[in-house]
Amino acid sequence: MQTYEITLMELNTQYPFSVQVEVDEAETTGDITIFARVGNHKFESASDAYLPAFQEFRDKLLTAGYGIKCNGSRINAVQSGMMEATDKVYLVEMGRQALTKDIVPIWDYADLDIFPNTEQQKKFFKQWTAKR
């Protein structure tokens, strides 16, 4: 079990605050499970791959009015099949192939002003794969 201290942004007030996230990285089950408590609300997601588990978790928080200020929330965060069991993503750029220097931890802080959802990330990924 891994614990991460992350920054959430309350989207209506733009108020940032810290919260702890617990991640079971397929240690007790075959899935990556992500859990956090925000106030009286419990947020949880699970998937057999790390980025989809993160995306489900992030989308639940977005629906509740919170954005996660971390690399995994960036529009250009993508994950290769070989990375799917790790907490790493590529931060890609249009027209350029992903390189190892582009690999970053999902949970590391990112100073974001916008918080895309999974569909927006998938749309960016399709555009990136078509242009690289």
CA-based angle 57:116:66, to the nearest 5? Answer: 55
pLDDT at 110: 96
pLDDT at 132: 59
118 HSE (CA, 13 A, CB side): 13
Q: Tokens standing for 79?
A: 């994950």
pLDDT at 84: 84
- Contact by Cβ (8 Å): 72, 107: yes
Encode the chain (132 residues) as per-residue pLDDT tens digits. 899 999 999 999 999 999 999 998 867 778 899 999 999 999 999 999 999 999 999 999 999 999 999 999 999 999 888 888 889 999 988 888 888 899 999 999 999 999 999 999 999 989 888 875
Counting DSSP H helices and E strands in the chain, the numbers are 2, 8
From first CA to last CA, the distance across the chain in angstroms is 36
